[in-house]
Amino acid sequence: MTVSNAAVACAAAWSPTATYVKDNVASQNGHNYTAKWWTQNESPATHSGQWDVWADNGVCGGGTTPTTPPTSSPTTPPSTGTKMASAPYVYPGWGNPPAPATVVNATGVKSFTIAFVLASGGCNPAWDGESGLTGGVHANYIAQVKAAGADVVPSIGGWSGNKLGPNCATAEALAGAYQKVINAFGLKAIDIDIENTDEFENTAVQDRILGALKIIKANNPSVKTIVTFGTTPTGPTYYGTRLIQQAKALGANIDIFTQMPFDFGGGADMYAATVGATEGLKNTLKSTFGYTDAQAYSHMGISGMNGLSDQQEVTSVDTWTRIRDYAKSKGLSRFTFWAVNRDRGCAGGGVVSDCSGIAQSDWAFTKVSAGF
C-alpha cells in the first residue's frame, strides 16, 4: 500500500515523530489530527500503509485506511489518554448498599468509586476513619466488586469526617497515606474528593494534597490521579481556580480535574448548569496549561447527583442521559454520580440515602453511566 500524494504534500504539517493513536486527537501545527489507524513514530513515506491520520480541516491526512489490521507490527499500539470507564460512587457503609453483582449484571457498569477513605489516629488511612483498610465492610465490598468483574477507584476525603489532608503534616506524609491505599488494593486510579473548609478552602492543605499527588504520580506513573471539587454553574470557584493554577505551579501532574455540578442553590436547569460548569472548567484549564479544547476536555470529568440533589435540584434519567451524551461528545475522561445507593426510585421520598427521590427504575442512572 502506498501513501497518497496529499499525505506526502502535507507531511510537514504534522509531526512524523509523534505517535497518533486510533480515535485519539493530537494537535500539531494548528491542526487537530485524528488517527483512524495508528502510527509508530515513523515518517509517512516509510509507514507502508499502517497509518492513516487526518486533520480536522480535511486537507492534511495520511494514507488510505487499511481494511484489515497489519499482520505484524514492531510494537503494540500504545495506550494513551486518560479516558476511564464510568465509575459511579457507592458507599458500602451507608444507604442500603446494593450487591455489586446485582448492579453489574443489570447495567454492564465496569467500575465503582468507593467512598470514603478518611484519617484514623492521625495520618493513617481508614475507611470511614475507623475500620482500617482491610478486613472490614469496605474491603469485603471491594472483593465483591472484583468478583463481579468490575474495578474500583477509592475516594479519599469527601464533605465531612476527619480527613487525611489536615492530619498529615507534610506532602510526603500524605503521599505515604495515599500509597498505603494504592498498595492495599492494587489500584489503577485514586480520587481525591477535596471539599469543605478543612481541605478545599484551606490553601495550605490544597498545596499539601497537590504535593502528595505529585509524589504519587512520580512513584506510580500508571496510576491515574483525580481531584474532585465543587463548582458554580459557570465554572470553578475562586478555590477551584486556585487548585488548578497551583497544580500547574507545583507540577502536580494531575490526570483529571472533576467538578461536582450540583447544589447550586435550587431550581437550576441541571443540563444547562452542568454544561456551563464544564465549559468554564475547560476554559480555565486552557488558560492555565495552554491546552487546546480537546486536550482540556481529556483532562476533565463530571460528578453529578442523581434525582434530587441536597438542595432539591432535579436531575432526571433523561437529563442524565443528555449530560452523558455531552460528556462523550466532548471527550471527557471521567463520568460519575453520587450514588449507586440512591439509584432506586422513590417519587416524593425526598433527599435520602437509599433512593433518588424521583420516579425511576432501579439502577437507571448507573445503566446510563455505563454507556459512557
Catalytic residues: 195
In DSSP terms, 22 is beta-bridged to 35
Q: What is each CA distance from 308 to 96, 151, 198, 259, 366, in whole angstroms?
A: 18, 27, 26, 18, 15
Q: What is each CA distance from 112 to 36, 91, 170, 309, in whole angstroms?
A: 31, 10, 29, 20
In DSSP terms, 126 is beta-bridged to 118
Q: Count CB-CB contacts under 10 A for residue 180.
A: 15
* Residue 372, preceding peptide bond in cis (omega within 30° of 0): no
> For cell 447550586, what's the residue?
264
Q: What is each CA distance from 55 to 1, 28, 330, in whole angstroms?
A: 21, 9, 17
What's the chain's length in residues?
372
- What lies within 8 Å, CB to CB, of 301 at 6+ separation is 226, 228, 256, 257, 258, 259, 332, 333, 334, 335, 336
